[in-house]
Chains A and B, each alone.
Chain A
């Protein structure tokens, strides 16, 4: 009888807890590795193009279409086997591929490659790429490059013509009016199309690498990712993340948010309030108030999800699947589904509710 009461009590508490838990997205994750078609388990980036999914791995570019993987390598003309970044030209359907050995342009199966030797590209290590109208912007190990696809003109931006104290450009995000760069050690650079001018955002006092007081400015100038959406800038660093609406900064760290780690490889803003964070300790989602984390347990590897509400209360959610690895490098959305690039495979999160 006691056991029955205890069970009833547990159920009631669980229901109560569940009822109070914010309703965050839940997924059933299907994972892809070399065992089922990926060319490599180390997946640097992922990009959704309608029903098709592109995955940039350490050993080639993979396209998932109609349930099958097709792999592109240097033998097909790809600039380098290590694919670091991807960008889709939504107007033409062409794909731009940033690699460790140049920039490739894939158009209806044809691959053209730009390198620092055969073109005006600033450097062959292309960490980030973004498309904005007729321009293709790249973040490289030697600054930023912009290709005018109509005229073929390359414009380079570095310490000589931009406030780029460091030239290790790590990521780029393009908008209709502005382009943002994450510069590793150089904070964030903002390019305004209307004026053609650059502006930098670094540590507020200009002396330290990090923000001294919460929300005073960019959280840290070792930035890894930017995401510009709805005129709001999301920034990822290895020391926490930032949100900037053009007037105010809001920073996130493990100690004051639901982030599972301050070490963030990528941030992908959905809109002005919601974003996904790819950290070394799992994938996190922020809906503007609450947080959810998805990962294999850091202790036993079992699938794990938990939700953190606005008050900081953490509620574990029973799940049966998780992303392939907790070291998450990139995400992209496919409707309600999510694709997750990790250090040990690519995961397709199929939305359950």
Chain B
């Protein structure tokens, strides 16, 4: 067969060229869009975090934080029946009272996915506050309550209209909710302590909401408490339990050998313990059970289970013994690590980074979500042993990032298993605390904990800029000084560094959807970038905001003396911090002495050494802050 020669007509070369370019663009577009989509199920780690059980007990709904989905699992066979895609970074899951709907809080996109439990399809998407972390329906199934971690409040959503009807003020980092058995009260806990006076013990709270009036009616104070995680109520409503961290951030971290880093404990409240809150330790004198996360109380109130997510185990507590000990105690017992021997029954080893706990309706089975194993441990609560494990699927081969993530969340490298990276960087963020890290005396060189998102290009690390790279930051400094161990090998350190440096930036909620700025933000941007003051005089380059806070992360990666050093600081020079997502990481300045962004300039910049700002009016300063919140 003879091929017909292509006849070239005038101008056809151009057409061919255009078509070729179009094909290339189409190919590129296809390739990019394919990359932009989430990896396939098999290619992603699941990171199961929370679970709920269908009313008939046949199906487990497992919320997978890493793969943005809910996996439906046959509770008997352990087989994954179906996968439902939800929003990005889901953190909370719950059922409607009739079990017909599944609610999922999508923390990075500020939405709820409502899944029809029959069709297993997302039937509605509802708006929430900033970073919804958990969701609970009222008993009537008419109202949803959503704990918003970044906006530190609770959204009240009318289910019929789908509209948020009000916001209730919670504590900082509102994250976990639990409804009382009678449905009258809703309890909320918080992962960050309140921003209080500088160098004072951390304070948190349990926020109590009257669901009839939809109002906060009480705030149970939690003294000396930083992060608080899940919360559970006994079936009779007489006992409330919340796992929590007691940071010892006011004394130098050099005293790890004295147990002065973190205490892992429970906050108890309710009729069973009298009127107030009683804190009881779950650690032992020479062994810690780091990052207590979830709690489950058996229906008969005989036992409670706590997942220690940094210790890869479940702590089992005899409730009557614990209450007897509490009632017999003559004073506070939160720091008495010998106390736990009186009520801790056993520790059950499970998978890596155990998070959510779920008791079956009859209390005979306890399900444990092993976040970094992509599995579920099933525990027979009669004998308190793991009787089976459910493999949820997901990516099977190990990557450096996965290995690094496991190192980040485990406390096994620390002396006596006291803490992990995730203790101070809760869910890979920060803890809202200021630490006395160095062994240079009490109260010397206080440093505010910084966010660790999107760190590439922000070196050096530490507030004094002493660590040129993450390997130095995470390596000898962390393992030898913080952890008081020499446990990492070079491969493990490389994995950890890979993981930390890959932590993404959370979405900024202050930018308008299309990225444009509001008028106030525009005015603030002009102030941030200005080179002359309001009197027309030039501002020294080193005193312009955008000089030090330059580049894509808003840091020139150098040291600067901005006049905020204290007498207790060994050097006035501080690392210029990146400003990405600066809105979320208060308090501010190297030592956290500025409780708000305003105080950086209204209190701590009297001589215009931290930028030329004293010519600004109050509304101009507000504009500057509005702009900074968009970075």
Task: Report if A and B associate in a common complex.
Answer: yes
Write the residues of chain A forming the contact surface with B, with a CB cutoff of 8 angstroms. Answer: 91-94, 105, 107-110, 116-120, 122-123, 134, 142, 149-151, 153-156, 158, 160-161
Whether B215 lies near A93 (C-beta < 8 A) is yes
Whether B166 lies near A120 (C-beta < 8 A) is no
Is B216 located at the chain interface by the 8 A CB criterion?
A: yes
The 5 closest A-B pairs by CB, nearest first: A156-B619, A108-B216, A93-B215, A117-B602, A120-B622
Whether A120 lies near B618 (C-beta < 8 A) is yes
Is B217 located at the chain interface by the 8 A CB criterion?
A: yes
- B539 CB contacts on chain A under 8 angstroms: none
A120 to B520, CA, bound (A): 13
Is B402 located at the chain interface by the 8 A CB criterion?
A: no
Check A117/B618 contact, CB under 8 A, given A92-B169, A108-B219, A150-B129: no
Whether A94 lies near B169 (C-beta < 8 A) is yes
A183 to B602, CA, bound (A): 27
Whether A110 lies near B205 (C-beta < 8 A) is yes
Name the residue on A nearest B210 (C-beta).
Answer: A93
A274 to B166, CA, bound (A): 31
Choice from B165, B217, B510, B596 contacting A119 with Cβ under 8 Å = B596
Whether A156 lies near B599 (C-beta < 8 A) is no
- A120 CB contacts on chain B under 8 angstroms: 598, 618, 621-622, 625
A161 to B218, CA, bound (A): 40
A120 to B618, CA, bound (A): 7
Whether B218 lies near A109 (C-beta < 8 A) is yes
Name the residue on B nearest A93 (C-beta).
Answer: B215
Choice from B208, B509, B599 contacting A118 with Cβ under 8 Å = B599
Whether A149 lies near B625 (C-beta < 8 A) is no
Least Cβ–Cβ distance between A287 and chain B, in angstroms: 34
- B207 CB contacts on chain A under 8 angstroms: 108
Is B329 located at the chain interface by the 8 A CB criterion?
A: no
Task: Tally chain B residues at the interface, Cβ within 8 Å.
Answer: 33
Whether B217 lies near A160 (C-beta < 8 A) is no
- A118 CB contacts on chain B under 8 angstroms: 595-596, 598-599, 602
Whether B167 lies near A134 (C-beta < 8 A) is yes
- A109 CB contacts on chain B under 8 angstroms: 218-219
Write the residues of chain B forming the contact surface with A, with a CB cutoff of 8 angstroms. Answer: 129, 151, 153, 165-169, 205, 207-208, 213, 215-219, 509-510, 520, 595-596, 598-599, 602-603, 617-619, 621-622, 625-626
Most buried by A among B166, B509, B622: B622
Whether A151 lies near B625 (C-beta < 8 A) is no
Choice from A123, A150, A153, A160 contacting B151 with Cβ under 8 Å = A150
A119 to B618, CA, bound (A): 10
Whether B216 lies near A92 (C-beta < 8 A) is yes
A123 to B509, CA, bound (A): 27
- A151 CB contacts on chain B under 8 angstroms: 151, 509-510
Whether B602 lies near A153 (C-beta < 8 A) is no
Whether B129 lies near A117 (C-beta < 8 A) is no
Whether A117 lies near B598 (C-beta < 8 A) is yes
| Selected A-B contacts with CB under 8 Å, 16 pairs | A92-B166, A94-B169, A105-B169, A107-B216, A107-B219, A108-B219, A110-B169, A116-B618, A117-B599, A118-B602, A149-B167, A151-B510, A153-B520, A156-B618, A156-B622, A160-B617
Whether A150 lies near B598 (C-beta < 8 A) is no
A150 to B168, CA, bound (A): 10
Whether B619 lies near A122 (C-beta < 8 A) is yes
Whether B510 lies near A91 (C-beta < 8 A) is no
Least Cβ–Cβ distance between A145 and chain B, in angstroms: 9
Check A110/B622 contact, CB under 8 A, given A118-B598, A119-B598, A153-B520: no
- A160 CB contacts on chain B under 8 angstroms: 617, 619
Least Cβ–Cβ distance between A216 and chain B, in angstroms: 34
Least Cβ–Cβ distance between A245 and chain B, in angstroms: 32
A48 to B509, CA, bound (A): 37
Name the residue on A nearest B205 (C-beta).
Answer: A110
Check A108/B218 contact, CB under 8 A, given A117-B598, A150-B167, A153-B626: yes
A223 to B626, CA, bound (A): 33
- B205 CB contacts on chain A under 8 angstroms: 110
Whether A108 lies near B217 (C-beta < 8 A) is yes
Least Cβ–Cβ distance between A280 and chain B, in angstroms: 33
20 additional contacts (CB under 8 A) given A92-B166, A116-B602, A134-B167: A91-B166, A92-B216, A93-B216, A107-B216, A108-B215, A108-B219, A117-B599, A117-B603, A119-B596, A123-B618, A149-B167, A149-B169, A150-B151, A150-B167, A151-B151, A151-B509, A153-B626, A160-B617, A160-B619, A161-B619
Name the residue on B nearest A120 (C-beta).
Answer: B622
Whether A142 lies near B626 (C-beta < 8 A) is no
A68 to B241, CA, bound (A): 33
Whether B215 lies near A92 (C-beta < 8 A) is yes
Check A158/B619 contact, CB under 8 A, given A119-B598, A120-B625, A153-B520: yes
Choice from A92, A142, A153, A154 contacting B168 with Cβ under 8 Å = A92
- B153 CB contacts on chain A under 8 angstroms: 150
- B596 CB contacts on chain A under 8 angstroms: 118-119
Least Cβ–Cβ distance between B187 and chain A, in angstroms: 13
- A155 CB contacts on chain B under 8 angstroms: 520, 622
Choice from A92, A105, A107, A142 contacting B618 with Cβ under 8 Å = A142
